[in-house]
């Protein structure tokens, strides 16, 4: 007859449960870090402005010269803030008018 002792029996679900808990904690840490990084304002140069606005360099330079696009300048370098550019693009949206036959 086999003698089973609780101490000699290893529950495989205990190790799985603890590993799953560790993975959950790591996933939450990563998600929190990503959300904090996204909350921080991203500042970049001409490449960022081109990416956000989808405009050419000469057009962006023209908008900077007329101060029509949000930017800052330190020395001879232009800096653009992603959030400011996104807001500027959103403000430029036109309303859609529908014609009515009244």
Let me know whether 16 and 34 are in one domain. yes
16 domain residue, yes or no: yes
pLDDT in tens, 10-41: 777 888 888 888 888 888 888 877 766 665 57
Let me know whether 50 and 33 are in one domain. no
pLDDT in tens, 56-69: 999 999 999 999 99
Let me know whether 24 and 47 are in one domain. no
The model's pTM is 0.55
- Could you tell me which of 99, 97, 47, 89 has the C-alpha nearest to residue 69? 89
Let me know whether 52 and 19 are in one domain. no
4 domain residue, yes or no: no
Let me know whether 35 and 54 are in one domain. no
Q: How many CB atoms lie within 10 A of CB 71?
A: 19
Q: Which domain holds residue 20?
A: 12-40
72 domain residue, yes or no: yes
Q: Average pLDDT in the 71-84 region?
A: 93
């Amino acid at each position: 007859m086999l003698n089973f002792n609780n101490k000699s029996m290893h529950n495989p679900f205990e190790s799985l449960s603890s590993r799953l808990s560790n993975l959950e904690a790591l996933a939450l840490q990563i998600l929190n870090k990503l959300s904090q990084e996204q909350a921080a304002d991203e500042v970049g140069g001409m490449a960022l402005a081109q990416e956000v606005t989808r405009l050419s360099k000469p057009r962006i330079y023209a908008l900077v010269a007329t101060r029509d696009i949000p930017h800052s300048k330190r020395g001879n370098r232009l800096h653009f803030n992603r959030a400011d550019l996104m807001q500027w693009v959103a403000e430029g949206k036109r309303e859609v008018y529908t014609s009515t036959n009244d």
